Amino acid sequence: MATLKMGNLLNESKFNELKRTFKKSTKKSMKAMESHMLGSVQINSIIESGVLGVNESNALKEFFSHTNYKFINENTIRMIDKSINEGPMDWIKSKYDQVKGYVQKGWAGVKAIWASFKDFVKGLLDKIKLFFKSLFEKIVAGAKGLMNKLTKPIQSKSADIKKALEDPEKATQIGEEIMQANGCITHIKGYVNEKLVGGELYTNDVIQAKGNIKEATVMLSDKKLNEALLSLNEGGAVKHPEDALKNYPILHKIVKYTVKILTAIFNPLGTALKLATGYLSKNTLKFVSAISKAAGGPGAFAFAITGPILGEVAEIIHAGANIAAHGAAHESKIKLSSVLSEGGGDAIFGIDIPGLLGKYAPSLAKYIPGLRSVVFAVEIFCMAYAIGTIVINVFVPLVEKIKKSLGSKAASITLKAAPPLST
């Protein structure tokens, strides 16, 4: 069947009503509209990949050339569906009936590919969220045993604490620093749960190819990949990416893409986090507050009074830690020294990171070298929350006890411990 000359057929039509529809949509809040969007560049990549028939591709290219859309998402998809199926009266004319079927079929193909791509990426991200959640839970569980180890070193500082509490100015400063630490701890926990485990930091950016449009465009220009995505769509939503990868190995291209986007999102945190870890052996609470600052929260604070008092505790926490080893990881796996536990190896708090990732996100485990910055950031945030909570909850009761023993000699300050460790 000869290719229809879409230009001759559709250029005679007026697209005023469709243009008005898209102009209205682009005036709405971009934040609300951009969720789970597919940009015009990616749409064109799918059309040009050859996955659609010649007639369907030509029909869609001509159709979209007469619209004013900037992107499509769930909202604009409904608008396009309506325009294609019903047709505004000022441009439908009798000639559109000759090509309407090709436009409809081509558009259905684009939607199916986009739906499968989005579902597959979402499935991968759901797996990595489970990994983040389990990592957080294991760090919290492992850290609880640290409280006993820190009790004696902190108690050995009783004389220093007593002396500070007898000085009204220093006592007030201790109270303020404990409040600052609690604010940092609370913020870090919320950041871990919402931004990392909840996915607020990266989900939409990965789906939208934010910051890496070129990569997504090349990927969606791949005819074989698009054919696999079309086939996936025939089975409904992609709920199990591992099964999809077994049936369509070419989908590993999307896994690699996901890793690249995640790395690009987490990389900016790397410098700030590595700088913050420099405080760990000198001033534990300053380390916690620096991590809070990196997460957009309160900090960084000096902890001028509590920092020196807790100096020995900081050294105990830091003992055996060599976070810089992260940068010299093996190509096949992340090499991290054990923190807060004796010995080294591929563990933190006694947790096997590669094994954990392999359990919850096996399709991503083979890309561990590319995920170094991602895993590093997540574990450091989790560590900061756990360490901060433990130190405060050992330190505050001791300060309260000493303050009580001083009676009227102690300055009047309000002390508050952090909530117990939890995820």
Q: Can you read off the two tokens belonging to residue 157?
A: 């500082």
- Omega within 30 of 0 (cis) for the link into 216: no
Annotated domain spans of the chain = 126-208+263-409
> From CA 61, how far away is CA 81, in angstroms rounded?
16
Return the residue matching tokens 């996915």.
199
> From CA 38, how far away is CA 110, in angstroms rounded?
10
Q: What is the pLDDT of residue 103?
A: 82
> From CA 143, how far away is CA 141, in angstroms rounded?
6
Q: Can you read off the two tokens belonging to residue 160?
A: 């220093």
| Beta carbons of 379 and 359 less than 8 angstroms apart | no
> From CA 117, how far away is CA 232, in angstroms rounded?
9
Rounded to 5 degrees, φ, ψ at 91 are -135, -10
Q: Sign of the C-alpha dihedral, residues 354, 357, 359, 364?
A: negative
H or E, element range at 351: strand 351-352
Q: What is the pLDDT of residue 133?
A: 95
Q: Sign of the C-alpha dihedral, residues 296, 379, 421, 414?
A: negative
Q: What is the pLDDT of residue 342?
A: 35
CA 17 vs CA 10, 22, 30, 339: distances in Å: 15, 9, 21, 63
C-alpha R_g of the chain: 28
Helices (H) and strands (E) in the chain, counts: 21, 4
Q: Can you read off the two tokens belonging to residue 382?
A: 């989790």
* Nearest C-alpha neighbor of 291 from the set 307, 271, 311: 271
> From CA 311, how far away is CA 146, in angstroms rounded?
16
Question: Phi-psi region for residue 100, left (φ > 0), alpha (ψ -120 to 50) or beta?
Answer: alpha
| Beta carbons of 212 and 261 less than 8 angstroms apart | yes
Q: What is the pLDDT of residue 94?
A: 55
Amino acid (one-letter) located at 269:
L
- DSSP-derived secondary structure letter, 52: S
Q: What is the pLDDT of residue 238?
A: 64
| Beta carbons of 44 and 114 less than 8 angstroms apart | no
Do you know the residue count of the chain?
423
Q: What is the pLDDT of residue 73?
A: 67
User: How high is the mean pLDDT in each 10-residue block of the chain (423 residues)?
Assistant: 45 42 44 51 84 88 68 71 62 62 87 87 92 91 78 86 91 94 97 96 83 77 92 70 87 91 88 83 90 92 91 69 35 32 43 82 83 87 91 91 85 85 90
CB within 8 Å of 236: residues ≥ 6 apart: none
Q: Sign of the C-alpha dihedral, residues 59, 62, 68, 73?
A: positive
> From CA 14, how far away is CA 4, in angstroms rounded?
19
Q: What is the pLDDT of residue 208?
A: 76
